[in-house]
Amino acid sequence: MGPDSREGVKDVLATRHGGYLLQIPESHIDVRIFENLTREGQIAFESGDNALAAERFRSALDLWRGQALVDVRLGPVLEIEAMRLEESRLVAVERRIDADLRMGRHTELIAELMELTARHPRHESLHSQAMVALYRSGRQSSALDVYRRVRGRLVEELGVEPSPQLQRLHQAMLAVDPLLDVLSGPRPTSTFDLFAA
């Protein structure tokens, strides 16, 4: 609401028994706009409309300016909400990258994915996307190196092997599986779930 808004203060901040009620239309709340755009992006993604999915996820992500609730003093409840919002943002990033990968934009995604995997060193889905982008760009050895690094971290830091999906993706790359190539038409699965059981 700007200075030229027709809405008065009384329309936005109403007095109620025991306090005040802030009445802001959903269309003016960034988090609601973000959620609506990501919902539309997910629907487009599941129907195979990759261009629309990527556009909706991009629009949703453009609303972000830094971390969620960064200038708010966080208590236990707001910490949970901040984590939820950050996770929602990361999921939107992953889905946008999946849509871009489906459209054959693998080479353009490599730098972004290298940064994301550095920021999230144990996030298997992002690593699977980086592996696929590198593989499809003719960099099979680099893709295999991404797997080696994430596996090393998981084993060393957590004492666990990578998920079955990531292990199967690794095996598919070693076998030069044609399923790794860009396929036309709707593909209702994420890159991470390409080799789900």
- Rounded to an integer, what distance in angstroms lies between the CA atom of residue 30 and that of residue 106? 30
Separation of alpha carbons 173 and 108, rounded Å = 20
Greater confidence (38 vs 190) lies with 38
Nearest Cα to Cα of residue 166 among 197, 188, 187, 142: 197
Given a cut of 90, is residue 68 above it in pLDDT?
no
Instruction: Tell me the pLDDT tens digit for each residue of 169-178.
Output: 999 999 998 8
Closest CA to 104 of 183, 170, 44: 183
User: For position 193, what pLDDT does the model report?
Assistant: 76
- pLDDT at residue 76 tops 60: yes
What is the CB neighbour count within 10 angstroms for residue 20?
9
pLDDT at 35 over 80: yes
Q: Are 81 and 31 in contact (CB under 8 A)?
A: no
91 is written with which tokens?
């999921």
d(CA 8, CA 4): 10
Relative to beta strand 13-16, strand 19-22 is antiparallel
Q: Please check the confidence at residue 8 and state whether its pLDDT lies above 60.
A: no
Q: Please answer whether residues 134 and 146 qualify as being in contact, where contact means their C-beta atoms are separated by less than 8 angstroms.
A: yes
Separation CA 67–CA 26 (nearest Å): 21
Rounded to an integer, what distance in angstroms lies between the CA atom of residue 20 and that of residue 15? 5
Q: How confident is the model at residue 36 (pLDDT cuts 50, 70, 90)?
A: very high
User: Percent of the chain having pLDDT more than 70?
Assistant: 83
pLDDT digits (tens, 9 = 90+) for 86-127: 899 999 999 999 999 999 999 999 999 999 999 999 999 999
Is it the case that residue 184 has pLDDT exceeding 50? no
